[in-house]
Amino acid sequence: MLARIEQVLEEKVRPDLALHRGNIRSLDCTDGVYRFQLTGQCAGCPSAMLTTESLIRTALMENIPALKDVVLVNSVSQELLDQARAILRGERPCG
């Protein structure tokens, strides 16, 4: 099922997230529950829950009927931590 999820993400979700310099990282899919993190500029964004509901959950649930739920795992991504460290060092972070 994770391969099908990745296909839907590539086609319907990642292009929209990329417009905001963000992405999505799949964590796991167990018992029909897909868990993920938002990365890049989308990580920690105040609109993350809205993005999850209106874009990610809708795309996945409409295209993969076997899914029972789609869950955003809120934690700071390594990418965001690296960007913050670069800023503190006076460097311009990538992205």
pLDDT of residue 23: 94
Contact by Cβ (8 Å): 32, 68: yes
Examine residue 94 and state whether it is found in any structural domain, yes or no: no
As given in the structure block, the two tokens for residue 46 are: 């105040």
Each of the 95 residues of the chain gets a pLDDT tens digit; together they read 999 999 999 999 999 999 989 999 999 999 999 999 998 888 877 888 888 878 999 999 999 999 999 999 876 667 777 887 888 888 876 65
Ramachandran region, residue 36 (left: φ > 0; alpha: ψ -120 to 50; beta: rest): beta
User: Is there a domain that residue 34 lies in?
Assistant: yes
Q: Tell me the residue range of the domain where 48 lies.
A: 2-88
Number of domains in the chain: 1
Q: Quick one: CA dihedral 32, 8, 55, 35, positive or negative? A: positive
Q: What is the CATH number of the domain that holds 66?
A: 3.30.300.130
- Quick check: is 95 in a domain? no
In a domain, 17, yes or no: yes
> What are residue 45's phi and psi, to 5 degrees?
-65, 140
Contact between residue 76 and residue 44 where contact means Cβ atoms under 8 Å apart = yes
Give the list of residues 6+ apart from residue 26 with CB closer than 8 angstroms, or none: 2, 5, 6, 9, 34, 35, 36
Q: What is the pTM of this model?
A: 0.75
